[in-house]
Chains A and B, each alone.
Chain A
């Protein structure tokens, strides 16, 4: 038996479909794992970023010295072999959908039965003068971390860094650079940090928190140009509003990301910003799918964006498409919205929808601790009292409880009174539910009188 088994298994594999996944990020790898759970199909994952899957969100911790690169790999290196997931380190330069094959940079051709595009994002550039100078970079790929390690190894090499764009990656890059005592100037287009997403109470709390961490936060500031010095390296940037010139050695472009699909554009796979897909994650070409950051839904679920570049949406797409590829056609349907982030020291979680400014019949109930960076915002419908969503800063809350409450369409009264059930802070932490309830009752009584 043993002697023949390699041949037998090759035969067996040849009779199976070949699924090629371009991209070894969370969506591609989740797909590969679930296809393996459900079938014995041949699976090949192609990437030129890293040999093995790592957690992109953890890149910041490598730079900060909390972890080494190997710690960011969720599976040990033997995992892939053991589960018969073939890994190819290579760059896909073309896809031939007629012959059902992909062509790699080294001119290897791989034939597929099912092709999945999971190539993620790339940092946005908006045509700023000097945006391609040495020392100008985003923070998305492993290679970005490698170049950051050169440009901003320490505060002697990098006297000052300027970050353009006040989103989640921007604040992470600011935290990273601060950990090495590199002075940071943070240009944020909005008048208050992330205020197109967060209510003012929270956005202002973050403004203060950022400033308290010795980050030079410039609100309402846009980039005019990036100036180069010798060797084509960045020398300074100029702010549009004030014409102020700030000398720096690093410019971090963190004004969002967009789908990484340039190599698809020459094919007959339809793209807009990303690869256009149906609710079943199918492209316009049979047997070609797209998932994760690079996928753009033709018509997304009500209230959701067509492109959602997030860890858990990528994961959910992978979980879903695995069912479809293995014969159980399932629509991509993420459940209630949720997300989390960490702004320097402040943890943030959100469940359901909380808008920056409530519109129509929606209203906010807000609570903030006067002494600490802890606050919550509940959004609800003031007519029906239906609970719409919650933002929580500095207090951890349970995903499953809020998911249930949202499904059951609980009212805001119920949520406020049952908040202790949702608490997820470590044991012995101070609790704020009574304080929150007191404020809620006080507000209610003023409304009634």
Chain B
């Protein structure tokens, strides 16, 4: 008889505890994916429409059955059993392979779309892109592009994994509502509406087709010349859309962020957040919680923000004229305006929030002066297209390449299984930096901790996709007011002691730092507080 305490090699279980139901589901999904891969090599293209329907159906049924197999018969509650035992979700072999495949896909998508079958110079599409031609012409009347293929698969991923997420968090309405919301915004605003807008275009009517919920600076090309031209050419509707875009970032977003925190966008509306929360949910525990990561995050995300402001300003400067008699908004007027707005924000922050910023005020000031100096340089030395010696065109394409493609796409999504599902949102998104700044200083949102109930178990920190060490606050009884928090609410869900709650409350006592937790007597609290003053 075997010694039961010794771990025997004969007990190896190559596929863990996958039930046969899950295996069938996995097979169906993989066959669907395989059909797409075959299409890539122009195999089986006889009936494109039919093949696409079959492939998408197989993938959908696969994910649907898999999600049901995992969760449908389970009770409400947290379903994280075995997360760190599974290869896919603990940086095992399957995780790494998935990461490499995803990364490769993004490199091809951004830089070698021809490999996907995109027809260049008027040639017809082939391969994978051609497979999507029928769907594309059904929706917008044109042949597919690589972006149409990507958009369709992206939306499909959010819908299918959104279903899985909703099942997983059955019993938690906050999770269900916000997932339903990102699914809706992706399907409607990001996918269908722009296609229909494209369809509306005719000789007598033009309308730019774009995602209404997209905002500068996340949509860094919003104020590019071609984009603004499109708006202006579309007459009154276009102008209204342009004004809406400007209001979105400068008025609507600050109001909503003040009331609800940045979660209204990041985990309820945004497409990047949508994919992270659904398809990326299995990887949230992989984000680094180290203090050093937090430092990197703060430098990186704010550098991207500064880069994006400068780049956009320089780009807008290129198409504004110098002649004030032709149009009042000249390049120089615009530059002065940008500098004035930034100075106003900086001054107000320093006057009202100096205390809260602490040591960060210095970094804020450095950042501010870098931007102002650059604007000054642009004003003084810049020709119509130069920022010092770098042309704004170079700046724009560098941003598009390094930030828009490499950071947000290749690394941001490709590295899900390695660095967690919010790499882009955490380290790179300039929109997250803007909203985070507002959330940290001008918002009613906070995560409240519940007195002395925390047992420091670490579930909250582990499952924070933004890498916030939630426990560090909870075990001190201190509310969590962090610029990076996207308000996904998973920390509150996984807490076994009911310690965390996402709330919008008054600004008074929002940050409640204390040395001694609730439950100890008054004298100790008094001594501790006196000491720290």
Contact = CB atoms under 8 A, between A and B. Distances in A.
B363 interface: no
15 contacts: A37-B532, A57-B457, A65-B82, A66-B83, A67-B458, A74-B456, A153-B7, A154-B13, A179-B82, A311-B456, A319-B528, A323-B527, A331-B523, A399-B450, A426-B502
A428 B5 contact: no
A340 B515 contact: no
A345 B527 CA distance: 40
B147 interface: no
Contacts of A135: 4-5
A323 B177 CA distance: 47
A338 to B, nearest CB: 6
Q: State which size class the interface on B falls in.
A: 35 or more
B85 A312 contact: no
A273 interface: no
Nearest to B260: A427
Interface in B1-33: 1, 3-7, 11, 13, 17
Given A65-B82, A233-B3, A342-B496, A57 B461 contact: no
Interface stretch (B72-80, B213-221, B271-279, B320-328): B72-80
Contact of B528 (A26, A315, A323, A341): A323
A231 B3 CA distance: 8
B472 A74 contact: yes
A334 interface: yes
A424 B501 contact: yes
Given A150-B5, A345-B75, A345-B76, A427 B502 contact: yes
A291 to B, nearest CB: 13
Given A55-B458, A67-B459, A399 B451 contact: yes
Interface in B63-110: 75-78, 80-86
A368 interface: no
A58 B459 CA distance: 8
A156 B517 CA distance: 45
B521 interface: yes
Contacts of B77: 344-345
A71 B516 contact: no
B4 A249 contact: yes
Contact of B452 (A66, A154, A338, A428): A338
B333 to A, nearest CB: 45
Contacts of A448: none
B76 A157 contact: no
Contacts of A38: 531
Given A333-B521, A398-B450, A426-B172, 4 more contacts: A71-B462, A134-B5, A335-B518, A396-B501
Interface string A363-381: 0000000000000000000
Contacts of B11: 153-154, 156-157
A347 interface: yes
A158 interface: yes
Interface in B500-533: 501-503, 515-521, 523-524, 527-528, 531-532
Interface in B473-518: 475, 489, 492-494, 496-498, 501-503, 515-518
Contacts of A181: 17
Contacts of B295: none
A14 B265 CA distance: 56
Given A74-B458, A347-B498, A334 B5 contact: no
B519 A66 contact: no
A153 B455 CA distance: 26
B497 A347 contact: yes
A304 to B, nearest CB: 13
Contacts of B453: 312, 338, 340, 349, 399
B82 to A, nearest CB: 4
Interface string A336-355: 10101110110101000000
Given A338-B452, A428-B173, A158 B4 contact: yes
B168 interface: no
Given A57-B455, A66-B80, A328 B527 contact: yes
B112 interface: no
A233 B4 contact: yes
A308 to B, nearest CB: 12
A65 B291 contact: no
A227 to B, nearest CB: 14
Contact of A179 (B81, B489, B531): B81
Contact of B475 (A65, A74, A349): A74
B174 interface: yes
B396 interface: no
A345 B451 CA distance: 22
B95 to A, nearest CB: 14
A211 to B, nearest CB: 13
Contacts of A340: 453, 497-498
B518 A403 contact: yes
Interface in A398-448: 398-400, 403, 424-430
B471 interface: yes
A347 B171 CA distance: 13
Contact of B451 (A323, A400, A427): A400
A330 B455 CA distance: 24
A253 B71 CA distance: 32
Contact of A65 (B85, B494, B523): B85
Contacts of A315: 452, 517
Contacts of A382: none
Given A150-B5, A319-B524, A334-B519, A26 B456 contact: yes
B362 interface: no
